Copies of this chain bind each other. A is one copy, B any other.
Amino acid sequence: MSNSREPFRERIARAADAKKSPIVLALDLPTSKRNLPAFAAKTIRAVGQHICAVKMNFHLILPLSASEISRINKLVHSYGLQSIADIKLNDIENTNEVAIDHLTRMGFDAVIANPFIGKGGLAALVQKAHKAGAGVIALVYMSHPGAKEGFGLEVGGRGLYSEFLERATGAGADGIVVGATQLDILRQVAKQQLPVYSPGIGAQGGDAEQAIRSGADYLIIGRSIVEAAQPAKVAKEIQSRILLSVRK
């Protein structure tokens, strides 16, 4: 990682363009899987042509060592893809900075953080990440049913997510997360300058085309691809459907 690199935001846009796919593969492998690194590699090889990035959550980050994660990230990069660490960082400044250090050493290109930590903390995190050549994607509205009890709280006469959006913009974040199950919010944030990442497609009930039409720039898709009998077939189908949808 070096600060002379092209910014994350441009790297992932270029990857999406090259692959003709806005799909971020969430490598959410079940705990029951044996040999997680091999299964992760097999999945990346299978769908690498149909996605622009890979996102890893605790499914891999907890059980695997730093060197195993590094090897996966090298494979991700060899396919011209970006890699995102989804630990929904929400800690004190010192811990967030240490996390960025470790994650960038493992080859991650971006980290997902929760603006709940406050403006200053988020800004410090973005600065630290940018220095390391990495990006920060800020949560604005998650996809689960309980999301309204956090991001949907009414604070000062408006949804907390509006405040989070302002914090993300103010901090210079490289993107925001808005669940594909929240189409109204997607339409609202689509007017912003920040790229929108939408999780919750498939297993959680969100629809890929609807999300794209509502303003999502990237679709985060996990279980419906990863747990499919033929991941490449499913990924390619979603990719084609989105391409058709965009052409409409």
Residue numbers of A with Cβ under 8 A of B are 28, 30-31, 57-59, 61-66, 68, 87-88, 90-95, 98-99, 101-103, 105-106, 114, 116-121, 142-150, 153-156, 160, 203-204, 223
Contact = CB atoms under 8 A, between A and B. Distances in A.
A240 B142 CA distance: 46
A93 B200 CA distance: 12
A59 B146 contact: no
Contact of A153 (B63, B106, B119, B155): B155
Nearest to A151: B116
Nearest to A65: B65
Contacts of A155: 153-155
A248 to B, nearest CB: 31
A28 B58 contact: no
Residue among A91, A114, A120 with max Cβ neighbours from chain B (10 Å): A91
A103 B145 CA distance: 25
A116 B114 contact: yes
B91 A90 contact: no
| Total identical chains | 2
Given A63-B102, A121-B146, 15 more contacts: A57-B91, A62-B66, A62-B102, A64-B66, A65-B68, A88-B90, A90-B150, A92-B143, A92-B204, A114-B114, A116-B116, A116-B149, A118-B148, A120-B146, A154-B156
A91 B91 contact: no
A95 B142 CA distance: 13
A95 B58 contact: yes
Given A64-B65, A95-B57, A146 B117 contact: yes
A31 B102 contact: yes
A102 B33 CA distance: 12
A226 B148 CA distance: 39
Contact of A116 (B105, B150, B204): B150
Contacts of A90: 88, 90, 114, 116, 150
A98 B65 contact: no
A166 B95 CA distance: 27
A28 B88 contact: no
